[in-house]
Chain A
Amino acid sequence: MKIKDGYIVREVAGTTVVLPTGDDLDLTKMIKLNDTGKFLWQELQQDTDEDRLVAALLREYSVDEATARAGVQRFVNKLKDNGLLI
């Protein structure tokens, strides 16, 4: 799985947001990411899977595997619900 094409990440007033690319600014499709959300979003720029995302989180953050996996699953499910993954 990976993030669909057509989105860019921007920093706005200290907040990380994901925008659909295009000539207009569609705030109805904008997403705000927290730090770990931003990290996972970057990991998902390449084709990956849940295990690799969990491993990446464990390398980057001081967290146990069960917590990391639960976080990854929640994040991935939200992305799927919003149609952002291929």
Chain B
Amino acid sequence: MDCSFENEIHLEQLMPLIEEYLAQGKPVKFSPRGISMLPMLRQGVDSVILESYKGVPRKYDIPLYRRDDGCFVLHRVVKVGKTYTCIGDNQFNLEHGIRHDQIIAIVTGFYRGTKYYSVNNMGYLLYSRIWHCSRGIRHFCGRCLAGIRRRLR
């Protein structure tokens, strides 16, 4: 007999509840899955505070959006135009064409372990800008290291 409970619940299942709270102006805390927002967000360790999205996301904001294939994504805005260009902090390929209507909520703060950081925290603001600006050099260094490893095998 399986009298169980689970702590792992898919975001898709919870979306009606999340949208209910966001519509009431209440914040939602959840732990993102995956590695695309490393080093800022570690799966199973860190969590984010989402709030209902008002206005236009700015560069470096982190929205939760739903792709047209139904996937939920939490990535950073790096370009604002008629649509948004987003990318995970641990990624090198930009995702273009995120529309306004796909954005569900926006990160207003996050927990690194137990320590809370607002997105207005000076250290975080510095991190988000330096990390994004160094994407090209990080990508180049990563490819060089991968090439060296291949030659050494």
Contacts and interface: CB of A to CB of B under 8 A. Distances in A.
A70 interface: yes
Interface string B40-69: 000000010100000000000000000000
Interface string B1-31: 1111111110001111110010000111111
Interface residues of A, number: 36
Contacts, number: 89
Contacts of B31: 27-28
Contacts of B15: 13
A10 interface: yes
Nearest to A69: B1
A27 B2 contact: no
Given A24-B28, A25-B21, A67-B1, A31 B13 contact: no
A28 B3 contact: no
A40 B100 CA distance: 44
B30 A13 contact: no
Contacts of B7: 30-32, 82
Contacts of B1: 36, 57, 61, 63, 67-68, 70-71
Contacts of A63: 1
23 contacts: A10-B17, A13-B15, A15-B9, A15-B13, A17-B9, A17-B17, A19-B17, A24-B21, A25-B27, A25-B29, A30-B9, A30-B14, A32-B7, A32-B9, A34-B4, A36-B2, A41-B5, A57-B1, A67-B1, A71-B2, A75-B3, A78-B4, A82-B7
Query: When A and B form their complex, which 9 residue pairs have the shortest distance between CB atoms, in order from nearest?
Result: A71-B1, A27-B30, A75-B3, A71-B3, A36-B3, A25-B21, A25-B28, A24-B27, A26-B29
Interface of A: 10, 12-13, 15, 17-19, 23-28, 30-34, 36-37, 39-41, 57, 61, 63, 67-68, 70-72, 74-75, 78-79, 82
Given A19-B17, A34-B4, 10 more contacts: A12-B14, A13-B13, A15-B9, A27-B18, A28-B47, A31-B5, A67-B1, A72-B3, A74-B4, A82-B7
